[in-house]
Amino acid sequence: MQILDGKSTALAVREELKKAVEDRKSKGQKIPHLVAVLVGNDGGSLTYVGAKVKACKEIGFDSTLIHLSENISEKELLEQVEKLNKDSDVDGFIVQLPLPKHIDEKKITLAIDPKKDVDGFHPNNLGNMVLNLPCFLPATPAGMMELLRRYEVETAGKHCVVIGRSHIVGSPMSILMARNTSPGNATVTLAHSRTKNLKELTLQADIIVSAIGQPNFLTADMVKEGAVVLDVGITRVEDSSKKSGYKLLGDVDFEQVAPKCSFITPVPGGVGPMTIVSLMMNTLKAMELRGDNLSAN
Ligand code: NDP
């Protein structure tokens, strides 16, 4: 069994990005600028956005956090998005989800210029992803593909079961794994809460991606010997022994499942760190390609 170490892989990617920034600086070229827009004070969102902004600063990117009130109107947020679309110093930006209930997330996502949509959530980017055309890939699935690529995990011809069909994780991951690319070329089954025979499916899977958000959901009796398991789930569970007061749990019963696997991602330190570096890779790409067509992924 080998751990797919997202933490050390992400550090390696960060070093590469840092070097790319230093090269640009030494040539007097612009450095990438990522803006993160956060609406309200949701604890999880504050942590995620903070980590993204901090990670950008550490590798030498410019990064700005725009923290807006919970009560901002949809119209005002759309105006903010338009301002960022037009700001030539900003290469890419994200609007952290979820948004307060009075704001239509779809409207906001559609308003973002696809060329600056480094989260890869705009329909233009998602459509181009399906067609295998140049685009920004959503960060979490892109991070998992990068991890598979760097560990040279064979995916061609394998049966991959993705559990969870969200627009940001499960669905795009199922598409990426099925595309005629490397990694990719897998035969994919996309499972969700209405799937009736999940255990039957996972027992046939060479690769399992679990993205549902239920701790210890995937148990050893659901996994065949030698499977590759990618655990996307992150659930905060109270833990008084931790300084923070909570610990993070994945969807996979790691202790029991890991011995059966050829490769597995831990939580924390697996998919999470790769998500952040994917966002930074997209931002560098957005800057390099501004005004041009995007290069193929
Ligand atoms: P969503 O809540 O949007 O989607 C969850 C999916 O899981 C749904 O498709 C749902 O099915 C499915 N599901 C729920 N229960 C079951 C079940 N018992 N059997 C099969 N399928 C089930 O979640 P996200 O995709 O946004 O996130 C999933 C998890 O990943 C969360 O823990 C989140 O915190 C984490 N996450 C981690 C990231 C990282 O960087 N590591 C990044 C993004 C998310 P249905 O559609 O039928 O309701």
Ligand 1 pocket residue status of 191, Cβ below 6 Å? yes
* DSSP-assigned letters across all residues of 112-144: S-GGGBTT--SHHHHHHHHTT-S-PPPHHHHHH
Measured from the Cα of 276, ligand 1's closest atom is 40
Ligand 1 pocket residue status of 165, Cβ below 6 Å? yes
Model confidence pLDDT, tens digit, residues 245-297:
989 999 999 999 999 999 999 999 999 999 999 999 999 999 998 755 455 45
Model confidence pLDDT, tens digit, residues 146-161:
999 999 999 999 999 9
Region 37-41: mean pLDDT is: 96
Q: What is the pLDDT of residue 296?
A: 46
Task: List the domains of the chain with CATH numbers.
Answer: 30-112 (3.40.50.10860), 139-272 (3.40.50.720)
List the residue whose alpha carbon is closest to atom 5 of ligand 1. 212
Report the range of poorest mean pLDDT among 48-52, 69-73, 176-180, 213-217. Answer: 48-52
**Distance of CA 214 from the midpoint of ligand 1 (Å):** 8
What's the whole-number average pLDDT of the chain? 95
Report how far residue 277's alpha carbon sits from residue 142's, in angstroms, rounded to the nearest whole number. Answer: 10
Region 20-35: mean pLDDT is: 95
Is the pLDDT assigned to residue 30 strictly greater than 80? yes
List the residue whose alpha carbon is closest to atom 18 of ligand 1. 193
Ligand 1 pocket residue status of 45, Cβ below 6 Å? no
pTM above 0.75, yes or no: yes
247 forms beta bridges with 237
Confidence category of residue 43, pLDDT binned at 50, 70, 90: confident
List the residue whose alpha carbon is closest to atom 48 of ligand 1. 193
Measured from the Cα of 44, ligand 1's closest atom is 34
